[in-house]
Structure 1
Amino acid sequence: MNARDRLPDAAQLAWRAQRVRQATLAMLAGLSAEDCLLQSMPEASPVKWHVAHVTWFFETFVLEPREPGFRPYDASFRELFNSYYVGVGARHPRGQRGLLSRPPLERVLGYQETVLQRLLDWLERGAADPQALALIELGLQHEQQHQELIATDLKHHFWHNPALPAWRPAREGAREDPGALTFRRYPAELAQAGHDGEGFAFDNESPRHRVWLEAFELAQRPVVNAEYLAFVEDGGYERPELWLSDGWDACRREGWQAPLYWLRQDGGWHTYTCAGLRPLNGAEPVCHVSYYEAEAYARWAGARLPSELEWEHAARQAGGVQDGDFAESGHFHPRPLEPGHSAFFGSVWEWTQSAYLPYPGFAPAAGAVGEYNGKFMINQMVLRGGSCATPASHIRPSYRNFFWPAARWQFSGIRLAR
């Protein structure tokens, strides 16, 4: 079976496009137009911009070159909602997206509704070729990425409000001890890494290739808050010998004393969640830590971070994507781990020690969509596994996420190796 035969047909894609868009719009529930305009830092984007941008992708890459008599919904949107596609044309500066009070939210919602309907009508006419179907699939996966970014960016925006507002209901979780951290040993062997060809994958997951892995051990669960708190209380943020040089500089420059969203109050530690400020739950996976903090913690714990290929090898042996804590829960906060927890997916993205680089034989896609991943393969580190803000249908063992080593606003956590 070749790649073309594995593509979803037009009817399946139309059904999925509606479900994915419903999930995007559901994230706006309870938000005001003012909430949707917030931009707390250049790396984060307003909710309104995210909704417009995922719509822009379909209008620009699918409809514009193919729809008979194509006319843009609004010609100015081509620049306003372009992200980093230099080949498409001008882009509004990323750090100034929060200044776009016009178009108003109502017009952005009208834009997404109109473009989605035009896409569905075009699919119903049966004019879609395999390349167009592949682009639509890419657009849906791209939109799911932005669903996660809406959750992470909005949380960061609200963190800057002294009232620390809630925007999602609280999820009560047990405060039980998840049990001692145990490790599983993996023997040295020649393994396969990368996408196996079944279903969708981004270009950076290919080609599949062989890799020699020396024997290693990997923790059976992520590090939890209680374990990380021991690092904090042992002076982990005051001990330069635990830190990479760049990490120590970032720690001093930014005044880090604990993970992002931790707050010491009334004699105890609390954490800001989408349900507001809550007492720190020791059984929850620690999250919102940078690569530098993860690496320092691992060193303090007498371990290290896994390579991304070690992580993928272990995750595949565990049976692939298992029942995890994903965006479908609607809480956007990792639930406490129970004794015996061993899932590799959901809850928190897990930093690896691997720089984000191309696999042997990697080649980006032709045209502007080739800018999607390849041009970012420098100065970033790979994370694996998905988080409580990742849609379950979006993740797989070969998925490679990547961020700058100082980034903390994503749901990023730690799994130890040795």
Structure 2
Amino acid sequence: MGAVRWKSVVKYFPLTVVLMLALYLIDNSTSNVVTQENLVIFKENKIVTNNNTISGCDLFSGKWVYDDVSYPLYKEGECTMMEDSFACEKSGRKNLKYQNWRWQPHQCDLPRFNGTALLEKLRNKKLIFVGDSLGRNQWRSFICLIEPYLPPLSRRGGVSHNLFDVFGKHVKEYNATIRTYWSPYLVESNCDDPIRHSADSKPTIRFQSIEKHGRNWINADVLIFDTFAWWTVPDITLLWGSLENSNAIYKQVKMSVREYEVALNTWSEWVEFQVDRNRTKIFFMSASPFRLGKTHWGTSPSCYNITKPIFDETYWANGVDRNLMEIVESTLKKLEERGIKVEYMNATQLSGYREDARPSIYRPFLKVALKDITPNKYADCLHWCLPGVPDVWNQILYAYIMKS
């Protein structure tokens, strides 16, 4: 009987091999992003980005999967560039499972992050995150991700001591600069001082002026912009003329999408006429979701004591104004029609699932007694703990940079 079975196997062996090879090819044809020896390899040469896809895979559509084997990608205490505002473990948070969630796109896998490959890609280049504290949150994550790959000389220094403004890391061996630039409205305002500003005050905005900031970005090779949270205040003052000019014209208005649209038009005109489109790669981050409220950051304390992600894929954070997002998308579409491609990083929904990954009360508060740190006033439900959600933003950013 055994001999008969063996003859049967031998008889159909060629057919079996053909079938196995066909199944292998079919299976691999659906995987557009793969990793090999820690380097990103894309099967197609063309990026399709008008619907947030790379090689046909939507990296922004997926789910969070618990993974305590390969995540976090770095340890909070080992990142020398960590900022206390985002160091939730250092500030006393005990439940650290927020560090172990991996973003899993539906149609593919995120490319494995390789800091050495990224630094080689950024050799002799300058990358700048431009925006508010969420941009700084992402920049910190970016630096923490690449720090384990830095050569010894660059690990020992090269960091500016200005905490908020033109604050960056220069990697000497690669002549690569990775900076963050404080500009919460992108256009000029009275909130542009990186230290002496307040989101609680009524801002004054020169919504048609950007040159003062733009001269600091113009020679960058990679620009990542974000501006959203500061546009959620109820009232603003519009300014025609200089902040220092006593004859300038001021007009106080209720905040509306119109002001946001005018400011983004100012930004888009700067991009069109000042940026070398053959040199500079531009990204625009979508709104980082949060719920409006009356905490110190103008947010709801709803993230306090949340320990798990949201698994309902239809969930939408109710603090995100879709109208503002549509203005961004419309602005980028008009730029593309004029020949300037800006990659839209639409990470709003994937981030909205992660209320568990906020600092909440686990961040330093100067001159505030521990007993007075109540969630209703001090829960930070705007920013993100590190390691955490911004690491995923940067993994996706990494995929785009490596492909470009």
- TM-score for the superposition, normalised by structure 2: 0.26
Structure ID, larger Rg: 2
- TM-score for the superposition, normalised by structure 1: 0.26
User: Which structure has greater strand proportion?
Assistant: 2
User: Which structure has greater helix proportion?
Assistant: 1
